[in-house]
Copies of this chain bind each other. A is one copy, B any other.
Amino acid sequence: MLANLTIDNGRLWDMLMETAAIGGTPKGGIRRLSLSDEDRRVRDWFRRECEALGCTVHVDTAGNMVAIRPGKDPTKKPIAMGSHLDTQPTGGKFDGILGVLGGLEVMKTLHQAGYETSSPVALVNWTNEEGARFSPSMVGSAVYAGVYSQAQMDAYKDKDGVTQGEALDAIGYRGQEKPGSLGFQAYFELHIEQGPILEEEGQTIGIVTGIQGIKWFTCTILGRESHAGTTPMAYRRDALAAFAEAATEIRKIALDHGGLATIGIVSAHPGSPNIIPGEVRFTLDMRHHQDAELKHMVTKAKVAIAEASTRHDAAYTVEPLQDSPAQPFDETCIAMVRAATEKLGLKAREITSGAGHDAMYTARVCPTSMIFVPCAEGLSHNEAESATQADCGHGAQVLLEAVLAYDARG
């Protein structure tokens, strides 16, 4: 039987606003780059809060902080919650932070009720999720999951040439434990959606079923540069005309497959109003939550580029730039989030995450799922990022219910 515990959304909101002052910007956002002094300050705050609840705060060699609240059975691995407290240079008050502070509110609720879980409950603050100061992103959870080595993580440099290892040492958050050595039974991450779906549909909770696969390409169409006034349409090898046809077709492919396709960069060369472009370069970002579908989409997109190029007697190249496979979440974890929304009577829908999250890496080593709440106009990585107190509270309540349900399954 599950306890009827209720989180305090006012207390959660107060924590969000209190910590937003650490690196707070005049426009209401946060600048709290990974391993900066602001990051150190919010980590110190987080450690104090967790210790005040009787948690033990472990810090691993990647700087990941794991606060553990003991359960009745010390032989069980912890059920974990978490996200990150670092932000983009002009970040908002919710991306990542809601997942950590929502978890802290769960801890406070358990503590206040004196509720004893069977398994220990863990709350993680992952190092450098954003990748804004040190690229790549999600490095703390990647080292945790064994995707990168500690040495790789340490070697990445910021633009001033400071290594991530040096910065970690400098703020005093290099722990002794080996990342991943604690091990989790499961991992739940609460996050703002960072997209418009929940808000547009009037949903309160997104039951996240996985993270989309992403493939990036740089593409070139090579026609023939010629004079816009003296080259009849029939004689043209217009790279821009081929590009336009391919772009329209690629959009249709994404729609047909229920995936996403984006051309974010395009340039025509030599770039003069009266010269027919001999070359067009562009990027292609394709995403789908199923790798097989994504592969089909990419195959069809290449055909679309090839056919459009052929129609205009042009050559083309499609070079892979990035490839991140789809990461489905654990069915049991997903079911517990769904059950929580049903129990609470919250409007909810299944959703896939278009962005990467630490949960993408934890999913490789333990059962994982995520909980999304709406954010205003889908805006994120922006100082104007916004979510309501009520929605943040609903998200934290679902997080609590999911953790307790996972704990109750024994």
Contacts and interface: CB of A to CB of B under 8 A. Distances in A.
Contact of A265 (B212, B244, B251, B271): B271
A228 B287 contact: yes
A158 interface: no
A305 B193 CA distance: 33
Nearest to A235: B196
Nearest to A212: B229
Most buried by B among A254, A271, A280: A271
A260 B232 CA distance: 7
Contact of A273 (B230, B248, B283): B283
Given A229-B354, A380-B227, A265 B273 contact: yes
B247 A244 contact: yes
A371 B230 CA distance: 15
Given A277-B264, A285-B274, A241 B247 contact: yes
Contact of A230 (B230, B254, B274, B355): B355
Contacts of A321: 273
A319 interface: no
A407 to B, nearest CB: 31
Nearest to A258: B233
Contacts of A285: 228-229, 273-274
A269 to B, nearest CB: 10
Contact of A355 (B195, B227, B271): B227
A346 interface: no
Contacts of A275: 262, 264
A276 interface: yes
A98 interface: no
Given A214-B229, A243-B244, A255-B233, A268 B271 contact: no
Nearest to A277: B264
Q: Is the interface of A mostly helix, strand, loop or mixed?
A: mixed
B262 A197 contact: no
Contacts of A381: 227
A194 B227 contact: yes
Given A200-B235, A245-B248, A264 B255 contact: no
Interface string A142-182: 00000000000000000000000000000000000000000
Interface in A178-216: 193-197, 200, 212, 214, 216
B216 A233 contact: no
Contacts of A267: 266-267
A231 interface: yes
A380 B56 CA distance: 77
A170 to B, nearest CB: 30
A240 interface: yes
Given A354-B227, A355-B227, A232 B276 contact: no
A263 interface: yes
Interface of A: 193-197, 200, 212, 214, 216, 226-233, 235, 238, 240-241, 243-245, 247-248, 251, 254-255, 260-268, 271-277, 280, 283, 285, 287, 321, 353-355, 378, 380-381
Q: Which 8 A-B pairs have the closest CB atoms?
A: A195-B230, A229-B354, A244-B247, A228-B262, A230-B354, A273-B283, A244-B244, A194-B230
22 contacts: A193-B230, A195-B230, A196-B226, A214-B229, A227-B355, A227-B378, A227-B381, A229-B260, A230-B354, A230-B355, A230-B378, A230-B380, A231-B260, A232-B260, A233-B261, A243-B244, A264-B268, A264-B271, A264-B274, A265-B271, A266-B267, A267-B267
Given A241-B248, A241-B251, A244-B251, 20 more contacts: A194-B227, A195-B232, A196-B230, A196-B232, A197-B232, A212-B229, A227-B381, A230-B354, A231-B378, A232-B260, A233-B255, A240-B264, A244-B245, A244-B248, A245-B248, A265-B268, A266-B266, A266-B280, A273-B283, A273-B321
